[in-house]
Structure 1
Amino acid sequence: MAAASSFAAVFFSSAFAACFAEVCTIPLDTAKVRLQLQKKAALATGGGGGATGGMLGTIMCIAREEGVAALWNGIIPGLHRQCVYGGLRIALYEPVKAFFIGDGYTAAGGVSLFAKILAALMTGVIAIVVANPTDLVKVRLQADGKATTVKRHYSGALNAYATIIRQEGIRALWTGLGPNIARNAIINATELASYDQLKQMFLKLPGFTDNVFTHLLAGLGAGFFAVCIGSPLDVVKSRMMGDATYKSTLDCFAKTLKNDGLPAFYKGFIANFCRIGSWNVIMFLTLEQVRRSIM
């Protein structure tokens, strides 16, 4: 990643980069959530928010039936999430990695991949425990469309927070925390550790320098690995947050497997890769440029 800098500076640059990437890619995330919430029963009756056309079909259907602005449903809690989660997970990465290095997790020639993965796992857990309420509200707003079966009609992010607390209790803000911790810890480890490792690997190759092209390739690789590993957990998280009928993570996993089959865990994979891949490229490119400007 980058050289050691003040926590505040890294937090600010990370939060800014994550928020910018969120604004650019949230239409893809909205389509991904609708696809992940889609069930066979809904498809059989012609429901499911018109998601049968895949990512592009879902985006067009949402824009046609609910308006283009609906593609940015959840942007406010999404920005809340990225300020907290995006800032913490990256700002904590270097200090936590240094802690593991101090405990002997080293390799010849630099920091071991194992230390990078451990550090990113830990920062992912810490960040999402704090940011889970923002993630919940974001998914609820994205799922609350005209064509969906569960309609909550939140008027906005703040109304959603207040309504959830009033109707379901404050603990409901941490609904889906189990799969969210698993998903974000794993995806964070995949993204940060793979970006760190890929960037380090590219810089050792002839012709590569610490420039935009290297950052782009490393960011795209990080996004691809994150989607391949994290898709099943992402589907379970979206279903639990979008549908309160599931009793637990295992219940959601079992019912999804029984009712929709194994492919359901990779439902919305293309949308997810387009979203995560482009998100990582935009975020890491922005992060590297902001860091150079303020550090």
Structure 2
Amino acid sequence: MATASSFAAMFISSAIAACFAEVCTIPLDTAKVRLQLQKKTAAGSAVTGGMLGTMKSIAREEGVAALWKGIVPGLHRQCLYGGLRIGLYEPVKALFVFVGDAALLNKILAALTTGIIAIVIANPTDLVKVRLQADGKATAVKRHYSGALNAYATIIRQEGIGALWTGLGPNMARNALINAAELASYDQFKQMFLNLPGFSDNVYTHLLAGLGAGIFAVCIGSPVDVVKSRMMGDSTYRSTIDCFVKTLKNDGPAAFYKGFIANFCRVGSWNVIMFLTLEQDDVQSAQHDSVE
């Protein structure tokens, strides 16, 4: 059973690793959000330039720094969401294991649970991040927030404090699914690799397991990720179902995988960076404890 001190250590290590991965990959995330928010034009086709085209367009029209829009609330999010979902994973997983080792189902249930708990707390940071990323020259609805703190204050003043939890439904679904896909599959991939000849608990194994976790996460979570981004970026949707139905009706089923390449590049690289950083923190902590 995890102790309070071990939870605190894992929370801090997870938050640091998640923040480092966020800084490295947020340009991909900004491109993903812009692509997900694109809708069909009057001519019947969506205006898109793909991941690289979107990034080039943002850099050319708004400046390179615009690719890091939302980094401040992004770091807020990773401190809360990243720290909680990973820090709580082992103790929650232990609660689902009654006899023997943790099975895949136990890992999935634990990751679903920690993903929901973490995003309920962190949803306001996610909302502000998406709105800052979405606010560009070509965006239909411009909010012109001057920064993260101004965005929090403006949303509360103009829309009420409850508006900070806009899109919570699809965000819970998205993060529960992605958290399960990431943590459970990383845990399972790592265990599988370690049982194979020639593999050991090293950087190569962590890299492969992290990449596998990223592939699972983006394939499973993309549809709810699109709905989440659209609800947070466009306040005209009345509910999750309304957003889903209108997206399907107006843009077709393929719209739920808009920004897939950007999402895959972002989530895959994010997982590799985050898990490699986290594993190295664990190694250093273990070495420190052995010296003491």
* TM-score bucket of the superposed structures, by smaller chain: over 0.9
Pairing 1:234–2:225 present:
yes
TM-score under structure 1 length normalisation = 0.94
3-state SS, counterpart of residue 95 of structure 2: helix
Label 1:174 to 1:266 Cα distance change in 2 as closer, same or farther (>3 A): same
CA distance in 1, matches of 2:147, 2:282: 33
CA distance in 2, matches of 1:20, 1:268: 23
Work out which of the residue numbers 171, 174, 194 in structure 2 matches 1:180. Answer: 171
Write the deviation string for residues 157-182 of structure 1: whole angstroms up to 9, x where unpaired.
00000000000000000000000000
2:11 partner amino acid: F
CA distance in 1, matches of 2:258, 2:14: 29
Work out which of the residue numbers 53, 65, 88 in structure 2 matches 1:92. Answer: 88
Contiguous gaps of at least 5 residues in structure 2: 287-292
Work out which of the residue numbers 50, 58, 62 in structure 2 matches 1:62. Answer: 58
CA distance in 2, matches of 1:198, 1:135: 28
3-state SS, counterpart of residue 40 of structure 1: coil
CA distance in 2, matches of 1:167, 1:45: 34
3-state SS, counterpart of residue 41 of structure 2: helix
CA distance in 1, matches of 2:129, 2:217: 20
> In the alignment, is the contact (CA less than 8 A) between 1:9 and 1:294 conserved in 2?
no
Shift of 1:45: 9.0
Equivalent runs, 1:259-278 vs 2, <5 Å: 259-278=250-269
Number of the residue aligned with 2:41: 41
Number of the residue aligned with 2:290: none
3-state SS, counterpart of residue 244 of structure 1: coil
3-state SS, counterpart of residue 67 of structure 2: helix
Write the deviation string for residues 73-131 of structure 1: whole angstroms up to 9, x where unpaired.
000000000000000000000000000003x5x5xxx3100000000000000000000
Pairing 1:223–2:219 present:
no
1:153 partner amino acid: H
3-state SS, counterpart of residue 52 of structure 1: coil
CA distance in 2, matches of 1:83, 1:63: 27
Number of the residue aligned with 1:211: 202
Write the deviation string for residues 32-84 of structure 1: whole angstroms up to 9, x where unpaired.
00000000027x499x8xx6220000000000000000000000000000000
Give 4+ residue runs of structure 1 displaced > 4 Å after superposition.
Answer: none
CA distance in 2, matches of 1:38, 1:170: 28
Equivalent runs, 1:192-203 vs 2, <5 Å: 192-203=183-194
CA distance in 1, matches of 2:205, 2:283: 15
CA distance in 1, matches of 2:167, 2:59: 28
Identity %: 81
Shift of 1:293: 1.7
Work out which of the residue numbers 129, 141, 146 in structure 1 matches 2:137. Answer: 146
Pairing 1:294–2:264 present:
no
3-state SS, counterpart of residue 246 of structure 1: coil
1:277 partner amino acid: G
1:173 partner amino acid: L
Work out which of the residue numbers 102, 117, 123 in structure 2 matches 1:111. Answer: 102
Contiguous gaps of at least 5 residues in structure 1: none
CA distance in 2, matches of 1:53, 1:38: 11
> In the alignment, is the contact (CA less than 8 A) between 1:15 and 1:82 conserved in 2?
yes
Number of the residue aligned with 2:23: 23
